[in-house]
Amino acid sequence: MNLSKNEFTSLCKRSLRGKGHHWGICEDLSNALLALALNRFPAPNILLEALNTENGKLIQIFSIVDSKAYEASDKINGKFFDPILILGLISVHRDLKIPSLEVALDNEVFILADNLIIGNRSYSRKQINTIAFCKKEPNDIVKHDFVTRVVIDDKTLKAIEYWSNLTYAPATEQSRNLGAGSEISDND
């Protein structure tokens, strides 16, 4: 199945919310995952990884974008879970007027140039201890096209939907009667 960008971000937001993340976290992670998806990273699988990570462990990566640590620091040490997400978060957050950015997740190097995320698309480390940043001359960057759809297999979709379905209130007669239009006949 292929999803529109709107459908994918909606799926991300709902499933992360279903997992119990706060709304603001859901919004930012969804944008990050979309950025990864458009750059041909396996975003549905990355989302699934995030859904299988304890919520509290993901929070630390937000300090890097909120404080713009990627602009001010060369290197940050800590325990970073699902580190690939940081690429999406910075890609969405960074000021595109500043030079390209090289991000090393432990020893794996990625480049963020404009909206591009360039690097090993099969990268899947669960936890790292060091993130390094350096400015990068844009001359030698090989650019790629963005995709406009997010391909997702049925098994992964089903696993994600388990979480998103938790955000919907169960269908009850009482609730049905509270829906708009339940009061009178629709026919005129």
Partner 1 sequence: MALNFDDKISETDVTLRPAEKVMRLSRLGSFHQSRLSFLRILLRRISTERWKFTRKVFDIGADSSGTAVYTYQLSERAYSLIAFAHKISDNDRSDRVIATKWDATFTLFDGIPSKMDIDRLKDNVPNQEAGRVSEKEITLSRANKSVRLWDYVVNCLSNGKQPDIHEIEKVGYMMRTTAVYGSGKFGAVDYKEISDRSEFSTPFQAEMLTVYMIRAFVIDLLQHAAKVKNPNKYVQLEPKFCEMLGVGNSTGLGMAPFLINHPQLLNNWICAKEKALARIRGLKAPKKTCVALFKNYIKRSNYLIESWNSKHDLQAVKLNELRRDKVILDDYVEKFSFNAPHPFNTLYEWAEETLGEEAQELLVSLILEPFGELIDDLSHGMSDTKQFTAKIEGSMLVGELLKKTEKHYAYALKINWDNSENNELAWYVSEEKLEPRLGNRFKEKGIELYEQPLQPSRDVARMHFDLSKWENNKSIAEFLMKHPEHRHIIRRCQIVFNNPYAEIQDNTISSDVIPIDLLRAKLSFFGAFHFDPRSDRWVRINMFKGAPLPQTLDDKNCDNWTYPEQTAT
Q: Binding residues for partner 1, per CB under 8 A?
A: 2-7, 9, 22-25, 27-28, 30-31, 59, 62-63, 65-68, 92-93, 148-149, 165, 167-171, 174-176, 178-184, 186-188
Closest CA to 50 of 162, 131, 160, 165: 160
Q: Do residues 18 and 169 touch, judged by C-beta distance below 8 A?
A: no
User: Closest by alpha carbon to 5, among 127, 151, 173, 142?
Assistant: 151
The helix (H) or strand (E) run that includes residue 91 is: helix 84-93
Q: How far is the CB of 33 from partner 1 (least distance, A)?
A: 12
Residue 54, token pair as written in the block: 């304890």
Alpha-carbon span 98 to 28, nearest angstrom: 21
Which CB sits closer to partner 1, 57 or 109?
Answer: 57
- Smaller CB distance to partner 1: residue 56 or 137? 56
Min CB(44)–partner 1 separation in Å: 16
Q: How far is the CB of 36 from partner 1 (least distance, A)?
A: 14
Find the shortest distance in angstroms from Cβ 66 to partner 1.
3
